[in-house]
Amino acid sequence: MALEICVKAAAGAPDVLGDCPFCQRVLLTLEEKKIPYKKHLVNLSDKPQWFLDISPEGKVPVLKVDDKWVADSDVIVGILEEKYPEPSLKTPPEFASVGSKIFGAFIKLLKSKDPSDGSEQALVDELKALDEHLKAHGPFIAGENITSADLSLGPKLYHLEIALGHFKKWSIPESPTHVHNYIELIFSWESFVKTKAAKEDVVAGWAPKFNA
């Protein structure tokens, strides 16, 4: 039987998958594990009562497992790994936090109004650290196979590239070449292409943060 998952709908397009990196992470996990699922697209600007009943915090993704709705992509991915161990997407613990500071650094740079506040350098430093890691262990974070850390980081890099390119005319410097190769690999991965949001929806999703 197919699992049920609530994910973000695109703004103004209730039938189109929206721009939530946490939702994409769970969809990627379901796709990679070949678990059948049924998507419910939720309009987050006008949350229906049925959704608030199953997700009291009003957040997506939420997944129905064993007749219970579960929130938070970390928790959901953990449950999926336990219930559907094959193929394993476990990232070895020593690599699990690789790239985990990039998303926060990206949001700081996006919101920054002061070019000398160090937020650009902080992001470049995180990307360099990822580059060093990929150089030693790549092509994926844990080596030859895609694992959960890639499925978490990939959507975040997708948002980073689109939002900083659009709002700041900023792109990742050329030098972290392994990061560029990684981005190319992940963004063209079959399940990624199938589950990614449209660029214009990613831009629309970040506009309030940029303008705040």
Ligand X SMILES: N[C@@H](CCC(=O)N[C@@H](CS)C(=O)NCC(=O)O)C(=O)O
How far apart CA 89 and CA 94 sit, in angstroms, is 14
Report in angstroms how near the CB of residue 15 gets to ligand X at its nearest.
18
Report in angstroms how near the CB of residue 65 gets to ligand X at its nearest.
15
Dihedral sign (CA 88, 93, 183, 59): positive
State phi, psi for 84 to the nearest 5 degrees: -130, 75
User: Of 72-80, 100-108, 117-125, 181-189, which segment contacts ligand X by CB under 6 A?
Assistant: 72-80
For residue 189, the 8-state DSSP code is S
Cα of first residue to Cα of last residue in the chain, in angstroms, is 43
Measure Cα distances from 129 to 122, 167, 174, 182 in Å.
Answer: 11, 24, 14, 13
Nearer to ligand X, 7 or 172 (CB): 7
Task: For residue 74, state whether it binds ligand X (rule: CB under 6 A).
Answer: yes
> Among this protein's residues, is 20 annotated catalytic?
yes
Residues 133-172 that bind ligand X (CB under 6 A): none
Sequence-ordered list of residues with C-beta below 8 angstroms from that of 39, at least 6 positions apart, any chain: 5, 6, 7, 17, 27
Nearer to ligand X, 138 or 152 (CB): 152
Report in angstroms how near the CB of residue 86 gets to ligand X at its nearest.
24
Sequence-ordered list of residues with C-beta below 8 angstroms from that of 201, at least 6 positions apart, any chain: 10, 11, 13, 16, 18, 19
Residues 8-27 that bind ligand X (CB under 6 A): 8, 20, 22
How far apart CA 203 and CA 165 sit, in angstroms, is 10
Report in angstroms how near the CB of residue 121 gets to ligand X at its nearest.
27
**Active-site residue identified among 20, 109, 127, 130:** 20
| Site mask for ligand X (CB under 6 A), range 28-67, x = bound | ----------------x-------------xxxx------
For binding to ligand X (CB under 6 A), which residues are involved? 8, 20, 22, 44, 58-61, 72-74
Catalytic residues: 20
